[in-house]
Structure 1
Amino acid sequence: MDVLVLVGRILFVLVFLPSGVQHLMQSKAMGAYAAAKGVPAPVPATVTSGLVLLAGGLSVLLGIWADLGSLLLAVFCIPTAVVMHGFWKESDPGTRQTEQIMFLKDVALGGAALMLLAFFSYVGHDLGLTLTGPLFHIG
Protein backbone atom coordinates (compact mmCIF):
# COMPACT_ATOMS: atom_id res chain seq x y z
CA MET A 1 0.00 0.00 0.00
CA ASP A 2 2.88 2.40 0.77
CA VAL A 3 4.06 2.43 -2.86
CA LEU A 4 0.53 2.94 -4.16
CA VAL A 5 0.03 5.93 -1.87
CA LEU A 6 3.42 7.35 -2.92
CA VAL A 7 2.50 7.06 -6.61
CA GLY A 8 -0.84 8.73 -5.84
CA ARG A 9 0.92 11.55 -4.01
CA ILE A 10 3.27 12.09 -6.95
CA LEU A 11 0.42 12.17 -9.46
CA PHE A 12 -1.71 14.41 -7.24
CA VAL A 13 0.89 17.16 -6.92
CA LEU A 14 1.73 17.25 -10.64
CA VAL A 15 -0.86 19.98 -11.11
CA PHE A 16 0.18 22.04 -8.08
CA LEU A 17 3.97 22.25 -8.28
CA PRO A 18 4.25 23.61 -11.85
CA SER A 19 1.38 25.99 -11.13
CA GLY A 20 3.17 27.27 -8.01
CA VAL A 21 6.33 27.91 -10.03
CA GLN A 22 4.28 29.68 -12.70
CA HIS A 23 2.62 31.89 -10.06
CA LEU A 24 6.06 33.00 -8.88
CA MET A 25 7.78 33.30 -12.27
CA GLN A 26 4.89 35.11 -13.98
CA SER A 27 3.42 36.95 -11.01
CA LYS A 28 2.79 40.20 -12.89
CA ALA A 29 0.93 38.57 -15.78
CA MET A 30 -1.01 36.27 -13.48
CA GLY A 31 -1.63 39.20 -11.15
CA ALA A 32 -3.20 41.10 -14.05
CA TYR A 33 -5.57 38.17 -14.61
CA ALA A 34 -6.36 38.10 -10.88
CA ALA A 35 -7.01 41.86 -10.97
CA ALA A 36 -9.49 41.33 -13.82
CA LYS A 37 -11.31 38.87 -11.56
CA GLY A 38 -11.49 41.45 -8.75
CA VAL A 39 -8.76 40.07 -6.48
CA PRO A 40 -7.41 42.81 -4.19
CA ALA A 41 -3.60 43.25 -4.18
CA PRO A 42 -3.40 40.85 -7.12
CA VAL A 43 0.38 40.54 -7.50
CA PRO A 44 1.03 39.86 -3.79
CA ALA A 45 -1.94 37.47 -3.82
CA THR A 46 -0.42 35.68 -6.81
CA VAL A 47 2.95 35.37 -5.09
CA THR A 48 1.31 34.18 -1.87
CA SER A 49 -0.77 31.61 -3.71
CA GLY A 50 2.35 30.40 -5.53
CA LEU A 51 4.09 29.87 -2.19
CA VAL A 52 1.03 28.03 -0.82
CA LEU A 53 0.96 25.77 -3.90
CA LEU A 54 4.66 24.98 -3.60
CA ALA A 55 4.58 24.42 0.16
CA GLY A 56 1.47 22.26 0.00
CA GLY A 57 2.62 20.32 -3.04
CA LEU A 58 6.10 19.63 -1.67
CA SER A 59 4.65 18.66 1.71
CA VAL A 60 2.37 16.05 0.13
CA LEU A 61 5.03 14.85 -2.29
CA LEU A 62 7.77 14.41 0.30
CA GLY A 63 5.51 13.30 3.11
CA ILE A 64 6.54 16.09 5.45
CA TRP A 65 3.42 16.87 7.45
CA ALA A 66 1.44 15.78 4.39
CA ASP A 67 -1.79 16.45 6.27
CA LEU A 68 -0.87 20.13 6.61
CA GLY A 69 0.18 20.24 2.96
CA SER A 70 -3.18 18.77 1.98
CA LEU A 71 -4.94 21.43 4.04
CA LEU A 72 -2.93 24.18 2.31
CA LEU A 73 -3.93 22.82 -1.10
CA ALA A 74 -7.61 22.66 -0.10
CA VAL A 75 -7.43 26.23 1.25
CA PHE A 76 -6.06 27.28 -2.13
CA CYS A 77 -8.40 25.28 -4.38
CA ILE A 78 -11.83 25.95 -2.95
CA PRO A 79 -11.68 29.77 -2.71
CA THR A 80 -9.89 29.88 -6.08
CA ALA A 81 -12.78 28.01 -7.67
CA VAL A 82 -15.26 30.61 -6.43
CA VAL A 83 -13.18 33.76 -6.95
CA MET A 84 -11.39 32.96 -10.20
CA HIS A 85 -13.82 30.68 -12.01
CA GLY A 86 -17.29 32.14 -11.42
CA PHE A 87 -18.86 30.54 -14.49
CA TRP A 88 -22.29 31.79 -13.43
CA LYS A 89 -21.14 35.34 -14.23
CA GLU A 90 -20.26 34.55 -17.85
CA SER A 91 -22.65 35.23 -20.72
CA ASP A 92 -20.57 33.73 -23.56
CA PRO A 93 -21.36 29.98 -23.75
CA GLY A 94 -17.76 28.99 -24.56
CA THR A 95 -16.29 31.05 -21.75
CA ARG A 96 -18.98 29.82 -19.38
CA GLN A 97 -18.18 26.19 -20.20
CA THR A 98 -14.43 26.71 -19.78
CA GLU A 99 -14.91 28.46 -16.45
CA GLN A 100 -17.30 25.76 -15.28
CA ILE A 101 -14.73 23.08 -16.10
CA MET A 102 -12.05 25.01 -14.21
CA PHE A 103 -14.44 25.58 -11.29
CA LEU A 104 -15.30 21.88 -11.05
CA LYS A 105 -11.62 20.89 -11.37
CA ASP A 106 -10.68 23.16 -8.48
CA VAL A 107 -13.59 21.96 -6.33
CA ALA A 108 -12.72 18.32 -7.05
CA LEU A 109 -9.03 18.86 -6.25
CA GLY A 110 -10.01 20.70 -3.07
CA GLY A 111 -12.24 17.80 -2.08
CA ALA A 112 -9.45 15.32 -2.79
CA ALA A 113 -7.08 17.42 -0.70
CA LEU A 114 -9.55 17.33 2.20
CA MET A 115 -9.76 13.54 1.88
CA LEU A 116 -5.95 13.37 1.93
CA LEU A 117 -5.93 15.54 5.05
CA ALA A 118 -8.22 13.03 6.76
CA PHE A 119 -6.27 10.07 5.42
CA PHE A 120 -2.84 11.30 6.48
CA SER A 121 -4.12 12.44 9.86
CA TYR A 122 -5.87 9.16 10.55
CA VAL A 123 -3.22 6.74 9.28
CA GLY A 124 -0.43 8.75 10.84
CA HIS A 125 2.89 7.07 11.38
CA ASP A 126 1.61 3.74 10.01
CA LEU A 127 1.94 5.05 6.47
CA GLY A 128 5.41 4.37 5.15
CA LEU A 129 7.41 6.33 2.61
CA THR A 130 6.90 9.67 4.35
CA LEU A 131 9.54 11.78 6.07
CA THR A 132 7.38 12.76 9.03
CA GLY A 133 4.13 11.71 10.62
CA PRO A 134 1.08 13.93 10.59
CA LEU A 135 0.79 17.27 12.34
CA PHE A 136 -2.91 16.69 13.08
CA HIS A 137 -4.42 13.57 14.62
CA ILE A 138 -7.94 12.51 13.63
CA GLY A 139 -9.69 9.53 15.13
Structure 2
Amino acid sequence: MDVLVLIGRVLFAALFLNSAVGHLTHTQAMAGYAASKKVPSPKAAVLASGVVQGVGALMILLGVWPDLGALLLVLFLVPTAVLMHDFWAAPDGEARQNEMIQFLKDIALAGAALMLMAFFAHVDTDLGLTLTGSLFSID
Protein backbone atom coordinates (compact mmCIF):
# COMPACT_ATOMS: atom_id res chain seq x y z
CA MET A 1 0.00 0.00 0.00
CA ASP A 2 2.86 2.40 0.76
CA VAL A 3 4.05 2.37 -2.86
CA LEU A 4 0.54 2.90 -4.25
CA VAL A 5 -0.01 5.91 -2.00
CA LEU A 6 3.40 7.29 -3.00
CA ILE A 7 2.53 6.94 -6.69
CA GLY A 8 -0.80 8.69 -6.02
CA ARG A 9 0.99 11.49 -4.18
CA VAL A 10 3.41 11.96 -7.08
CA LEU A 11 0.61 12.07 -9.65
CA PHE A 12 -1.51 14.44 -7.55
CA ALA A 13 1.37 16.78 -6.72
CA ALA A 14 2.59 16.97 -10.34
CA LEU A 15 -0.43 19.04 -11.40
CA PHE A 16 0.11 21.63 -8.68
CA LEU A 17 3.89 21.78 -9.08
CA ASN A 18 3.45 22.47 -12.79
CA SER A 19 0.87 25.14 -12.04
CA ALA A 20 3.09 26.71 -9.37
CA VAL A 21 5.97 26.98 -11.84
CA GLY A 22 3.62 28.66 -14.32
CA HIS A 23 2.43 31.14 -11.71
CA LEU A 24 5.98 32.02 -10.72
CA THR A 25 7.45 32.22 -14.24
CA HIS A 26 4.55 33.80 -16.16
CA THR A 27 3.37 36.12 -13.42
CA GLN A 28 2.65 39.15 -15.64
CA ALA A 29 0.43 37.28 -18.07
CA MET A 30 -1.45 35.52 -15.28
CA ALA A 31 -1.80 38.78 -13.35
CA GLY A 32 -3.42 40.34 -16.42
CA TYR A 33 -5.97 37.54 -16.54
CA ALA A 34 -6.55 37.80 -12.78
CA ALA A 35 -7.06 41.56 -13.15
CA SER A 36 -9.68 40.90 -15.85
CA LYS A 37 -11.50 38.75 -13.27
CA LYS A 38 -11.34 41.66 -10.78
CA VAL A 39 -8.98 39.86 -8.39
CA PRO A 40 -7.56 42.39 -5.90
CA SER A 41 -3.78 42.90 -6.16
CA PRO A 42 -3.55 40.49 -9.09
CA LYS A 43 0.25 40.22 -9.27
CA ALA A 44 0.55 39.53 -5.54
CA ALA A 45 -2.35 37.06 -5.77
CA VAL A 46 -0.68 35.16 -8.63
CA LEU A 47 2.63 35.00 -6.77
CA ALA A 48 0.97 33.97 -3.50
CA SER A 49 -1.12 31.30 -5.18
CA GLY A 50 1.98 29.95 -6.92
CA VAL A 51 3.79 29.68 -3.60
CA VAL A 52 0.79 28.05 -1.87
CA GLN A 53 0.45 25.50 -4.67
CA GLY A 54 4.18 24.76 -4.68
CA VAL A 55 4.47 24.41 -0.93
CA GLY A 56 1.29 22.33 -0.63
CA ALA A 57 2.32 20.01 -3.46
CA LEU A 58 5.85 19.56 -2.10
CA MET A 59 4.49 18.76 1.36
CA ILE A 60 2.27 16.05 -0.13
CA LEU A 61 4.97 14.75 -2.45
CA LEU A 62 7.70 14.56 0.19
CA GLY A 63 5.40 13.52 3.01
CA VAL A 64 6.22 16.48 5.25
CA TRP A 65 3.01 17.19 7.16
CA PRO A 66 1.14 16.05 4.04
CA ASP A 67 -2.21 16.70 5.69
CA LEU A 68 -1.33 20.39 6.02
CA GLY A 69 -0.12 20.42 2.40
CA ALA A 70 -3.47 19.03 1.26
CA LEU A 71 -5.31 21.64 3.35
CA LEU A 72 -3.26 24.41 1.69
CA LEU A 73 -4.40 23.14 -1.69
CA VAL A 74 -8.04 23.16 -0.55
CA LEU A 75 -7.60 26.75 0.64
CA PHE A 76 -6.21 27.64 -2.79
CA LEU A 77 -8.72 25.71 -4.91
CA VAL A 78 -12.05 26.84 -3.49
CA PRO A 79 -11.47 30.61 -3.78
CA THR A 80 -9.86 30.08 -7.19
CA ALA A 81 -12.94 28.25 -8.41
CA VAL A 82 -15.23 31.05 -7.26
CA LEU A 83 -13.08 34.04 -8.28
CA MET A 84 -11.54 32.80 -11.52
CA HIS A 85 -14.20 30.51 -12.95
CA ASP A 86 -17.46 32.39 -12.37
CA PHE A 87 -19.44 30.56 -15.04
CA TRP A 88 -22.65 32.24 -13.85
CA ALA A 89 -21.29 35.58 -15.13
CA ALA A 90 -19.95 34.34 -18.48
CA PRO A 91 -21.22 36.34 -21.46
CA ASP A 92 -22.09 33.45 -23.78
CA GLY A 93 -22.79 29.73 -23.83
CA GLU A 94 -19.32 28.56 -24.89
CA ALA A 95 -17.53 30.72 -22.30
CA ARG A 96 -20.07 29.62 -19.67
CA GLN A 97 -19.41 25.96 -20.45
CA ASN A 98 -15.61 26.42 -20.33
CA GLU A 99 -15.79 28.26 -17.02
CA MET A 100 -18.16 25.66 -15.57
CA ILE A 101 -15.75 22.86 -16.52
CA GLN A 102 -12.86 24.69 -14.84
CA PHE A 103 -15.01 25.53 -11.80
CA LEU A 104 -16.07 21.90 -11.36
CA LYS A 105 -12.48 20.69 -11.89
CA ASP A 106 -11.25 22.96 -9.11
CA ILE A 107 -14.08 21.90 -6.78
CA ALA A 108 -13.41 18.21 -7.52
CA LEU A 109 -9.69 18.67 -6.86
CA ALA A 110 -10.56 20.48 -3.60
CA GLY A 111 -12.67 17.47 -2.62
CA ALA A 112 -9.83 15.11 -3.44
CA ALA A 113 -7.37 17.23 -1.46
CA LEU A 114 -9.78 17.29 1.48
CA MET A 115 -10.04 13.49 1.39
CA LEU A 116 -6.25 13.26 1.17
CA MET A 117 -5.95 15.53 4.21
CA ALA A 118 -8.37 13.33 6.18
CA PHE A 119 -6.55 10.19 5.02
CA PHE A 120 -3.17 11.42 6.22
CA ALA A 121 -4.60 12.80 9.47
CA HIS A 122 -6.25 9.43 10.14
CA VAL A 123 -3.32 7.11 9.36
CA ASP A 124 -0.66 9.49 10.74
CA THR A 125 2.57 7.47 10.93
CA ASP A 126 1.02 4.11 9.97
CA LEU A 127 1.67 4.91 6.33
CA GLY A 128 5.31 4.68 5.36
CA LEU A 129 7.29 6.60 2.78
CA THR A 130 6.73 9.98 4.39
CA LEU A 131 9.34 12.19 6.05
CA THR A 132 7.10 13.21 8.95
CA GLY A 133 3.78 12.20 10.43
CA SER A 134 0.62 14.23 10.13
CA LEU A 135 0.17 17.58 11.80
CA PHE A 136 -3.51 16.90 12.54
CA SER A 137 -5.12 13.82 14.05
CA ILE A 138 -8.51 12.46 13.05
CA ASP A 139 -9.70 9.27 14.70
TM range (shorter): over 0.9
Shift of 1:14: 1.7
2:103 partner amino acid? F
- Aligned residue number for residue 6 of structure 2: 6
Q: TM-score, normalised by structure 2?
A: 0.98
- Aligned residue number for residue 115 of structure 1: 115
Distance 1:90 1:135 in 2: 40
Distance 1:52 1:84 in 2: 16
1:75 partner amino acid? L
User: What residue ranges of structure 2 are gaps of 5+ in the alignment?
Assistant: none
Aligned residues: 139
Q: What SS does the aligned partner of 1:59 have?
A: helix
User: Deviation above 3 Å: which 4+ runs of structure 1?
Assistant: none
Shift of 1:109: 0.3
Deviations 1:41-83 (CA, angstroms, capped at 9, x unpaired): 0001100000000000000011010000000000001110010
Q: What SS does the aligned partner of 1:23 have?
A: helix
Shift of 1:138: 1.1
Deviations 1:62-116 (CA, angstroms, capped at 9, x unpaired): 1010000000000001110010000010131111111011000000000100001
Q: TM-score, normalised by structure 1?
A: 0.98
User: What residue ranges of structure 1 are gaps of 5+ in the alignment?
Assistant: none
Distance 1:97 1:12 in 2: 25
- Aligned residue number for residue 128 of structure 2: 128
Distance 2:12 2:24 in 1: 20
Q: What SS does the aligned partner of 2:117 have?
A: helix
2:44 partner amino acid? P
2:72 partner amino acid? L
1:121 partner amino acid? A
